[in-house]
Amino acid sequence: MVCADWYKTAMKLTVLLIPAVLSSALLAACGSSSSSDTSSTTTAASSNTVRLGMEGPLSGSQKVTGTGMLNGAKLAASTLNDKGGLLGKQIEIVPIDDAADPATGVTAANAAIKNGLDGVVGPYNSGTGIKTLPLYISAGLTPIRLTSDSATNGMGYTLQPMDYQIAPAATTALTDWLKVKSAAIAYDPTPGYTATVGAQMKSLLEKAGVKVTAYEAVKPGASNYTSTVTKLEATNPDVIYSVVYFPEGGLIAKAMNASTSKVKCVADYASDDPGFVTTAGKAAAQNCPVVGVPSPGDFPTGGSFDAAYQKQFGQGPGTWSSYVYDSVNLLADCVKSAGGFDNNPNADGSTTAQVSGSTSLTKCLNGTKDWKGVTGSVTIDPANGNRNPATVVVLSTDSNGALHVDKSWAQAVGAPY
């Protein structure tokens, strides 16, 4: 299906602003748990329900992100169940709490696999996904992930932007919109998305002629980052760009707002979450735009999604609620097309690596083109399982404390918002 004309234009613009560097990693095909322990994994063919795992940070400092993800999955499941379910069975969403921690994620993923899964959506944190995604693949599952680090290329499929799509868009925002000549970068060095994008931003800004006055690793989990902000401001940058998740990003924005310095604040994509505003406080958040994706209501059909989410959960959706909703629905559509989940061994008997297009399900996902969801038109690049193009925008906080596409950014770069 074809999305609204303005969204097509946005996609074309994204291609121009964000050149994709395609990975050579091959896509995964479904492996099989049956080669090692057929009794431990329940499949759709042998159960009365379809069990879809949803891995995310359901506890810990990023709980609000995980809750929004889980609710998005539940809304998709209830909508599908009202229409007869999937494969003639009702869909059950199985929460998998990784607490944004790789070790916790591995334990949770193994337990969920042992209890039986037909499919899985998630995780969100790339550092966790690097550890848990191979477990799902080895169990014969095809993940629809929400990770953005290229280290997870080929480990299933994703509908959200990747690092190589995000960093160029962020660089363009700083140079073409804010017109900065110098920048200080604060980044979370934890292996995964933040460490990768921190390095990419430094390289891209320097190539664009921007002086990087500081490149500062910050330890996640602190309760205050005033000392970090003071140190970075002392290098006299035009902007401090923070490549950290929203708990830290919100605190950095809060510290900058309390400062008398005139240095601009911009938070990276990892901070794109309503929790950023809650952590920073509305005033601080309004002084610190966020690189991210459009909020659900910014998409053409986002209004009806918002209403359905509000009705079921009594609150607005999180940033990633709509992406998980679409992930579940895309997976369901391809399962219907394939006639099942194809959780069978690869032709060569392997379970630790996927083989591009080796099953009906992966063939369907590889061939996804102009599939229409809440987040717009979806086309999958079969070279890496990633959405291409993928929309990256700049968000500002409105008077209600909600994140929406920044109109001044859109005007500066010619985006149709």
Per-residue pLDDT for 39 more than 70? no
Query: Would you state the pLDDT for residue 32?
Result: 33
- Could you give phi then psi for residue 91, rounded to 5 degrees? -90, 130
Q: Give tens-digit pLDDT for 167-208.
A: 999 999 999 999 999 999 999 999 999 999 999 999 999 999
Mean pLDDT value across residues 112-129: 97
String of DSSP letters for 340-357: S------TT---SS--TT
pLDDT tens track for 299-319? 888 889 999 999 999 999 999
Per-residue pLDDT of 381-398, as tens digits, reads 999 999 999 999 999 999
Residue-wise DSSP of 112-163:
HHHH--SEEE----HHHHHHHHHHHHHTT---EE---SGGGTTSSEESS--H
Which three-class secondary structure state does DSSP give residue 290? strand
Q: Give the C-alpha separation, 136 to 205, whole Å.
A: 37
pLDDT of residue 25: 35
Q: What is the pLDDT of residue 219?
A: 96
- 354, pLDDT greater than 90: no
Domains in the chain (CATH in brackets) are: 21-160+299-387 (3.40.50.2300), 163-292+393-413 (3.40.50.2300)
Whole-angstrom CA distances from 250 to 187, 281, 289, 291 are 13, 8, 11, 13
Give percent above pLDDT 90 in the chain.
81
What is the pLDDT at residue 86? Answer: 96
Residue 162 pLDDT > 50: yes
Question: Higher pLDDT residue, 150 or 357?
Answer: 150
Q: Does position 347 have pLDDT exceeding 80, yes or no?
A: no
pLDDT tens digits, one per residue of 208-224: 999 999 999 999 999 99
287-290-295 Cα angle (round to 5):
115
Which pLDDT value is given to residue 48?
87
- Residue among 149, 179, 143 at smallest CA distance from 161: 149
Chain mean pLDDT for the chain: 88
pLDDT classification of 46: cutoffs 50, 70, 90? low
What is the average pLDDT across 278-301? 95
pLDDT top residue among 374 and 38: 374
CA distance 384 to 134: 15
pLDDT tens-digit series, residues 10-31: 443 343 333 333 333 333 333 3
**In the structure encoding, which two tokens stand for residue 281, read together?**
């406080």
Q: Are strands 239-243 and 144-145 parallel, antiparallel or unpaired?
A: unpaired
More reliable by pLDDT, 18 or 378: 378
pLDDT of residue 358: 60
In the predicted model, is pLDDT for residue 274 greater than 70? yes
pLDDT per residue over 235-269, tens digit each? Answer: 999 999 999 999 999 999 999 999 999 999 999 99
